[in-house]
């Protein structure tokens, strides 16, 4: 199995979460052991020689690929969570969504100045969540930041919301 084979395992769900949206459901891909292994191998290949020390996974589907990537790289995993889910002192950033404002938080001691960080989420659509996560991680002054997604919806131009000077990678594009 290769990464292009993964596309055939991703289910399209029309009109979710609202009418006119086609939701790319990765759960049908990750329930397949061979596909999950292929995804993990492909993610690790992208970052194996970059000195990554932490992977930040964005709630909630970013926890899946982010944890796998961290494990494969021998790096730590940092969850980026919705408000009120982390038990210690946090830093937070708010961002606009198509139907309102949302917030994301990290523990204030999650990233150090010695870290090389990969920010990971399952899907790049408009880029708002990742942009907020990037700003949080950047405020902690790590050595380097990379951004990664399993799927990118190119027609929504989410990359425009992300910094131009940061390497952004995706495994699959629609």
Q: For the purposes of burial, counting CB atoms within 10 Å of the CB of 162, is it exposed (0-12), middle (13-18) or buried (19 or more)? A: middle
Active-site residue identified among 61, 81, 105, 152:
61
Active-site residue identified among 34, 45, 98, 167:
98
For the question of residue 98 being annotated catalytic, the response is yes
For the question of residue 61 being annotated catalytic, the response is yes
Cis peptide before 22 (omega within 30 of 0): no
| Closest residue by Cα to residue 135 from 162, 109, 115, 98 | 162
CB 137, CB 74: distance < 8 Å: no
Q: CA 50 from chain center: how many Å?
A: 17
CB 116, CB 52: distance < 8 Å: yes
Q: Point out the residues that are catalytic.
A: 61, 98
């Amino acid at each position: 199995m290769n990464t292009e084979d993964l596309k055939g395992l991703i289910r399209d769900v029309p009109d979710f979460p609202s009418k006119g949206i086609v939701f790319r459901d990765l759960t049908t891909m990750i329930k397949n052991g061979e596909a999950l292994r292929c995804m993990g191998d492909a993610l690790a290949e992208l970052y194996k020689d970059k000195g990554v020390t932490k992977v930040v996974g964005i709630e909630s589907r970013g926890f899946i690929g982010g944890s796998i990537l961290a494990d494969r790289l021998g790096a730590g995993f940092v969850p980026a969570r919705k408000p009120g889910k982390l038990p210690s002192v946090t830093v937070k950033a708010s961002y606009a969504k198509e139907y309102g404002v949302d917030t994301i938080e990290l523990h204030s001691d999650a990233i150090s100045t010695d870290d090389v960080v990969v920010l990971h989420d399952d899907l790049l659509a408009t880029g708002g969540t990742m942009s907020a996560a990037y700003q949080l991680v950047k405020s902690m002054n790590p050595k380097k930041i990379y951004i990664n997604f399993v799927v990118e919806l190119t027609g929504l131009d989410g990359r425009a919301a992300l910094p131009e000077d940061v390497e952004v990678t995706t495994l699959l594009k629609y």
